[in-house]
Structure 1
């Protein structure tokens, strides 16, 4: 499987933009963002279903990691305000939410990437 970094970059940016717009609809907006970005990455990468899924997976995983970093900054700021207990709860919460978001973006982006590469090959 070859990684098409241009396709991954486009998928990554689409996930961030659609995910930001989708904040008004919390879960549906993020799932939709992963689907749109993963489909774009898979379509641009083309090739086999596995290749499209791989590029979609990379785009979704990178987006989840970036979002986790941003959430950790927010959790750290809230943890400072809450003292030691606030820092513990903020850190654990950020880790769990970040893990969930990364898996969510990765899985649905991989599935959409496979569909995108299939659609291009038709």
Structure 2
């Protein structure tokens, strides 16, 4: 069963660490995913599998939030500029963003597995 408190804690930790990750662009964002996933896995406990699941959800949640915000910006810009592609552009951006969010959540799953193991 999913512990949504653990997922939310991991998400918040990942967001806070991501703010500081801009100082070291590539390593910082990977580290933010690992730390956020670790927090989710540690809070959830239950071993490697449970920790990885909760870390994956926390990382994917962060990516989905970014995808939603980006889709809204593209939709509003598309409608403001005019033409029929405002809503379709936003939907396309969200679809691509959702796939990328799941791929980028792999580091959070790894961190979550370590956190679940150490709890």
The answer, yes or no, to whether TM exceeds 0.5 is yes
Which runs of 5 or more structure 2 residues have no equivalent in the other structure? none
Cα drift, residue 115 of structure 1: 1.0
Structure 1 unaligned residues grouped into runs of 5+: none
Query: Moved runs in structure 1, 4+ residues, more than 4 A?
Result: 23-27, 88-91
Deviations 1:41-72 (A, max 9, x none): 11111221001011111211222221111111
The yes-or-no answer on 1:96 pairing with 2:96 is yes
> What does residue 116 of structure 1 align with?
115
**Structure 2 CA distance for partners of 1:40 and 1:69, relative to 1, 3 Å:** same
Shift of 1:15: 1.6
In the other structure, the counterpart of 1:31 is 30
Report the counterpart of residue 43 of structure 1 in structure 2.
42
The size of the alignment, in residue pairs, is: 118
CA RMSD of aligned residues (A): 2.4
The aligned counterpart of 1:17 is 16
> Are residues 102 and 52 of structure 1, via their aligned partners in 2, closer, same or farther at CA, if it must alter by over 3 Å?
same
Mean CA deviation greater in 86-95 or 38-47 = 86-95
**Residues 19, 86 of structure 1: alpha-carbon distance in 2 compared, 3 angstrom cutoff:** farther
Contact 1:63 1:102 in 2 (8 A): no
